[in-house]
Amino acid sequence: MLKGRSLIDPSDFTREEFREIFDLAHEIIKNPEKFSKSCEGKILATLFYEPSTRTRFSFEAAMLRLGGQIIGFSEPNSSSVSKGESISDTIKTIECYADIAVMRHPKEGAPKVASQSVSFPVINAGDGGHQHPTQTLTDILTMERLKGNIENKVYGFCGDLKFGRTVHSLIKFLSNYEGVRFILISPEELRVPEYVREEIMKKKNVPFVEVEKMEPYLGEIDFLYMTRVQRERFFNEEDYIRLKDRFILDAEKMSFASPETYILHPLPRVNEISVEVDIDPRAQYFQQAKNGMFVRMALILKLLGIY
């Protein structure tokens, strides 16, 4: 039963519960009209303490397409947060007005603290460099639509694997599935955090390699997950400048990939994928952004207990 639950981390739900969400998302894609009044009278609150385009708009569009309403802020300085209000007080107040809340925060664990202070569903829309579970839902739905299932596949992750919360959540999720193998492509300084290596991949016996070049591996990768170097999490600008353009996927590199190597990216992109790649049918990142809205519709319906 997903009704009333919060989604903070990919380990919060079982495989079967995630299955319910994906099945509903596929159904919504087939017939969105059927769901256009499902959330009438319900309110979704978006609390964004950090910038966002896709995550906030896709949640808001999801609720509006379900017939519900939205409230929230995308600029914490315009709310009482700027007066020093605690997360717990803010979320308790929001619970008086809304039926479900989505929170993005620069501090790891902030959405978890919020969810523990209230009894309505709170969704983590990204907490610092830690986790971003609804991006994972978006990624998995996209992969299922491209290859039918996510098992027995080779996943390439490229870019900032240290600070990229989308990578951490996706690795955590995929590690529960059979036959997955990871190729982690990054400069040494931007490798996955210790807890991801030791407590997730090694513990679950997922085969992985950590490498600094993508070309030799492109032919065997099913999904190449590109990421931007997370400038806002760096301690100094020089390191960012030194590392930011280390990996650029362009048409020439795409010629090393197999015809079935799909390119995903949570977006926003900076320089890591040349725009010339966008017309390649294997480039699926804009479709991925669209799928994000459908899977968030499914998530909202499940957490509100409507489906």
Minimum separation from the CB atom of position 32 to ligand NCD (A) = 21
Tell me the window of 84-92, 167-175, 206-214, 260-268 that interacts with ligand NCD (CB under 6 A): 260-268
> What string marks each residue from 217 to 256 as x (binds ligand NCD by CB under 6 A) or -?
----------xx----------------------------
Q: State the catalytic residue, choosing from 132, 162, 228, 265.
A: 132
- Nearer Cβ to ligand NCD (112/228): 228
Distance (Å) of CA 43 to CA 29, 95, 120: 22, 10, 12
Distance (Å) of CA 232 to CA 149, 194, 225: 34, 21, 20
* Among 6, 46, 136, 166, contact with ligand NCD (rule: CB under 6 A): 166
- Nearer Cβ to ligand NCD (156/307): 156
Indicate whether 110 belongs to the interface with ligand NCD (CB under 6 A): no
**Two tokens, residue 262:** 């799909």
Indicate whether 132 belongs to the interface with ligand NCD (CB under 6 A): yes
- In a 13 Å sphere around the CA of 58, the CA atoms on its Cβ side amount to 25
- Nearer Cβ to ligand NCD (67/187): 187
Can you tell me the distance from the alpha carbon of 176 to that of 186, in angstroms, rounded to the nearest whole number? 23
* Among 42, 54, 172, 302, contact with ligand NCD (rule: CB under 6 A): 54
147 labelled catalytic:
no
83 labelled catalytic:
yes
Packing angle between helix 165-174 and helix 133-147, nearest 10 degrees? 60
Can you tell me the distance from the alpha carbon of 110 to that of 122, in angstroms, rounded to the nearest whole number? 11
- Nearer Cβ to ligand NCD (10/266): 266
165 labelled catalytic:
no
Minimum separation from the CB atom of position 135 to ligand NCD (A) = 5
**Span 66-105, contacts to ligand NCD by CB under 6 A:** none
* Among 65, 112, 130, 165, contact with ligand NCD (rule: CB under 6 A): 165
Looking up tokens 């957490």, which residue turns up? Answer: 303
Q: Which residues carry out catalysis?
A: 54-55, 83, 104, 132
User: Which residues make up the interface to ligand NCD (CB under 6 A)?
Assistant: 54-55, 126, 132, 135, 165-166, 227-228, 266-268
